[in-house]
Amino acid sequence: MTKYQIRGGNPLHGEIEISGAKNAAVAIIPAALMVEGVCRIENVPQISDVTLILQILRELGANVRMVNRSTMDVDCSHIMNRRVPYDLARRIRASYYLVGALLGRFGWAEVPLPGGCDLGGRPVDQHIKGFVTMGAEVEVRNGLICARVPDGRLSGGQIYLDMVSVGATMNIMLAGTLAHGMTVIENAAKEPHIVDLANFLNSMGANIMGAGTDVIKIRGVDHLRGGTYSIIPDQIEAGTYMTAVASAGGEVLIRNVIPKHLDCISAKLIEMGVDIEEHDDAVLVRRYGPLNRVNVKTMPYPGFPTDMQPQIAAVLCQARGTSVLTEGVWENRYRYVDEFRRMGAHIQVDGKVAVIEGTRFLTGAPLHACDLRAGAAMVVAGLSAQGVTIIDGIHHIERGYEMLVEKLAAVGADIRIINTPDEDSQSQVG
């Protein structure tokens, strides 16, 4: 079994380069399905969610060619198959974007219900409402989303989202791109990756206006053509390393970021006593003194991101005083709390609220990464803990972080990958 071993206590010094945004990449790659021609996509992160989505595209008949480590050519001119393989799709949340893309291009899609992190209920009713408003017949049966348009092409429509949903906004945007007429999404999500998907589609010939505001208008076009596009830097990866510096102390220049996307995270860290200096495409993060308590509530962008909630909790565990953390997006995002308690953290959870009483130091412990961001938060906590932290379940972390161990080791963290005998096979032998 592969695990991370962290010996806490080293302050971090140096530079970390941020990779392309996971949540943009996992939407932009399926969007390439709608393009007749070659899409050259740059700044693609090398993470397992991207590997999976590329594997699905290949199964459908796409031609994918790596140009270099982070650049690829995707050619979906000759898609043969519109049935997405069950085993691949159920392992990733973003497989739902294949419905919007296939339905938009071919008027027909069969995609397994998505997987991804277990954060409580993850319904897709708003996605389906959008497709139905645009003239599709959608049925969920045998674990599949089966969607078809009787006359072969979706028609634009007006869709008001009942809640701000990133996935539904992007999926309806995909479906509307090749639809007949105008699609309007109201109460749309505004995350940076929504703007990035719109920019990608527009650079291939789409006509999308208003991405980044809460009303998005999509005037359908007949075709998308090939082109070149570079994915934005990952806001959450950058935020995670910012919390790593806050936790371990030290001074790190985090490069290849869009500082504006980090404002919501920087604001809270500054309130906690962390020093943050914005450059054009970098932020310098310094923490030498003690950390102050703060209250944090997660919200859709530009609010504090829910995908940074476990990482900020790791830092608040070490702040002076009591902080209140409120989860404003997901039903159940505190499954990691028991693991933090093993490190000596004092956290009480009541529904969506966690009350964190800061302690002077955490202690290393064996931990289980129960999902992607919780796993990243365990790394953040382990960097400052006294003693050794061993984290298993790291496949969750590798879904979203490219070379996490190498990037942290390069700034002085004592972190490495270790292999231990598989406990299941041991117990079977025993």
Identify which of residues 127 and 261 has a Cβ nearer to ligand UD1 in the complex: 127
> Binding pattern to ligand UD1, positions 94-133, x when CB under 6 A?
x--------------------------xxxxxxx------
Q: Are 312 and 270 in contact (CB under 8 A)?
A: no
Amino acid, res. 402: E
CB of 167 to ligand UD1, least distance (A): 3
CA 173 to CA 185: how far, in whole Å?
Answer: 8
Q: Which two tokens stand for residue 94?
A: 């973003």
Told to judge if 117 belongs to the known catalytic residues of this protein, a careful annotator would answer: yes
Beta carbon of residue 165, minimum distance to ligand UD1 (angstroms, whole number): 3
> What's the token pair of residue 350?
């009541």
Beta strands in 259-387 (DSSP E): 275-278, 282-287, 296-297, 322-326, 346-350, 353-357, 366-368
Q: What minimum distance in Å lies between the beta carbon of 298 and ligand UD1?
A: 8
Using CA atoms, how far residue 328 sits from 301, 316, 325, 351, 354, in Å, is: 12, 18, 10, 11, 12
> Quick one: which segment of 165-173, 221-229, 273-281, 405-413 binds ligand UD1 (CB under 6 A)?
165-173
- Is residue 196 involved in binding ligand UD1 (CB under 6 A)? no
Kindly state the smallest distance separating residue 116's Cβ from ligand UD1, in Å: 7
User: What is the sign of the dihedral through the CA atoms of 272, 273, 274 and 276?
Assistant: positive
Helix (H) or strand (E) holding 230: strand 225-230
* Span from 62-70, 104-112, 161-169, 254-262 in contact with ligand UD1 (CB under 6 A): 161-169
From the list 39, 117, 264, 317, the catalytic residue is: 117
Q: Does the protein bind ligand UD1 through residue 140 (CB under 6 A)?
A: no
Q: How far is the CB of 410 from ligand UD1 (least distance, A)?
A: 26
Question: Could you say whether residue 376 binds ligand UD1 (CB under 6 A)?
Answer: no
The DSSP symbol for 311 reads: H
To ligand UD1, the closest distance from the beta carbon of 297 in angstroms equals 14
Question: What stretches of 381-421 adopt beta strand conformation (E)?
Answer: 388-392, 414-419
In the shown chain, the binding pattern of residues 322 to 351 toward ligand UD1, with x for contact by CB under 6 A and - for none, equals -------xx---------------------
Nearer to ligand UD1, 201 or 413 (CB): 201
* Alpha-carbon span 347 to 366, nearest angstrom: 18
Cβ atoms within 10 Å, residue 203? 15
Work out which of 25, 26, 244, 379 binds ligand UD1, going by CB under 6 A: 26
For ligand UD1, the binding residues (CB under 6 A) are 23, 26, 93-94, 121-127, 163, 165-168, 189, 306-307, 329-330
Catalytic residues: 117
